Amino acid sequence: MAALMVAALLPAACAGAATSSTGDVTPTAESPGVSRIAISDRRMAPNLSGTTLKGGQFALDDLAGNVVVLNIWASWCAPCRDESPVLARLDRQLATQKVRFIGIDETDTTTAATQFVATAGVTYPQLVDSDGALLRQLPLLPQKGIPSTLILDRHSRMAARVIGPVTGGEIETLVSELLQED
């Protein structure tokens, strides 16, 4: 678990790292990319809450019972531009299953973030994190360097993460595995 915490502090992909693999990866400081967390090692996710880009209020606890894909992004991040339309498509594709998508917009302007979301076709809630306070509550994700994605199981436990840009196949595989768990 200590290695997982160290890995969470590593810079991620907005500096240009390659897309991660989909194989089982034991979380270590040397293995950015896709990491699955064993059920026995999973910890509860914090109840993130705050204001959305549309001005509403949102709390992560409202999604209990669902697999949750939590993506950290910003309009100024080039890899985020590539992955956001993919996540938007998956949100629509998985809408009939117990899967929900949430975005956390890091250090962005409302205008740039709103335009980015519209261009990418994203309709799921986007929490505003202008000062990084929400991201600081997620110890498994890098505090600098985006994008990164955290996936919660149906019991609101942190079950997988992707450091760097995600692919549709990666998310589909991780979500499918979590939906099959008891």
Which residue type does 26 have?
A: T
What's the CA angle centered on 29, arms 158 and 144, to 5 degrees? 70
Q: What is the pTM for the complete model shown? A: 0.82
For residue 154, give Cα distances in angstroms to 42, 69, 182: 12, 11, 9
Q: How far apart are the first and last CA of the chain?
A: 23
Each residue's pLDDT expressed in tens, for the chain with a length of 182 residues = 333 333 333 333 443 333 333 333 344 333 358 999 999 999 999 999 999 999 999 999 999 999 999 999 999 999 999 999 999 999 999 999 999 999 999 999 999 999 999 999 999 999 999 999 999 999 899 988 899 999 999 999 999 999 999 999 999 999 999 999 97
- Superfamily of chain region 33-180: Glutaredoxin (3.40.30.10)
Q: Are 69 and 167 in contact (CB under 8 A)?
A: no
DSSP H or E run through 176: helix 168-180
